[in-house]
């Protein structure tokens, strides 16, 4: 069995606290035709580097019924900047067009099999997984990016087309796990596709 949820899998539900002080679950986004759930954080250079590209993509597809939900599962014991308080500050400063949730006990990261920050999961109207992987091919230095996989997937999804590349490897920092070394990853975690095909 794969560590990361596989294509066609129903989106795991959640009940998580957002930066607006409210709790959200999947049912709160039931009107979204396409739901993008992505694992992110406050400190990772791959996140910081690509956040504005993600913002642009989210804004581009908002009129098509696409909604974005960011989840921060990182341990604040490992990275103090990933605390809930810093999430609130970051959202006030950046005003990102997504709901930003805190996965304090990291159960949702485990349920999805999130590997990196950022790691994107795209679900159709039935909340079946149609894409998992990276947003762009150079999130740390977006000005050098040659491909925006997330943009391509959403273009295909809203047009009712088949997803031509439904899996890529997420690129970024590993999730920071409670009580573990900052480089630790679950032993069953692995690349989604062989690196020479990424």
The pLDDT of residue 196 is 58
Higher pLDDT among residues 2 and 122, named by residue: 122
42: pLDDT strictly greater than 80: yes
Q: Rounded to whole angstroms, how far apart are CA atoms 126 and 81?
A: 35
What's the mean per-residue pLDDT of the chain?
96
- Nearest to 73, CA basis, from 44, 107, 120: 107
Mean pLDDT along residues 90-95:
98
pLDDT-based confidence at 198, cuts 50/70/90? very low
The pLDDT of residue 119 is 98
Mean pLDDT along residues 35-52:
98
Q: Rounded to whole angstroms, how far apart are CA atoms 36 and 149?
A: 13
């Amino acid at each position: 069995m794969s560590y990361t949820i596989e294509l066609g899998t129903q989106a795991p539900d959640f009940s998580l606290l957002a930066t607006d002080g409210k709790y959200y679950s999947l049912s709160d986004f039931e009107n979204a035709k396409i739901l993008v759930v992505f694992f992110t954080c406050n400190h990772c250079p791959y996140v910081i580097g690509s956040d504005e590209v993600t913002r642009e993509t989210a804004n581009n597809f908002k009129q098509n019924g696409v909604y974005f939900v960011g989840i921060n599962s990182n341990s604040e014991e490992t990275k103090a900047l990933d605390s809930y308080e810093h999430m609130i500050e970051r959202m006030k400063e950046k005003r990102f067009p997504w709901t930003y949730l805190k996965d304090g006990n990291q159960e949702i990261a485990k349920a999805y099999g999130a590997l990196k920050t950022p790691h994107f999961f795209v679900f159709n109207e039935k909340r079946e997984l149609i894409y998992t992987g990276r947003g762009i091919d150079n999130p740390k230095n977006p000005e050098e990016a040659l491909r925006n996989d997330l943009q391509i997937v959403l273009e295909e999804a809203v047009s009712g087309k088949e997803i031509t590349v439904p899996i890529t490897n997420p690129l970024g920092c590993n999730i920071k796990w409670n009580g573990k070394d900052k480089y630790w990853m679950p032993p069953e975690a692995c690349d989604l596709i062989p690196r020479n095909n990424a």
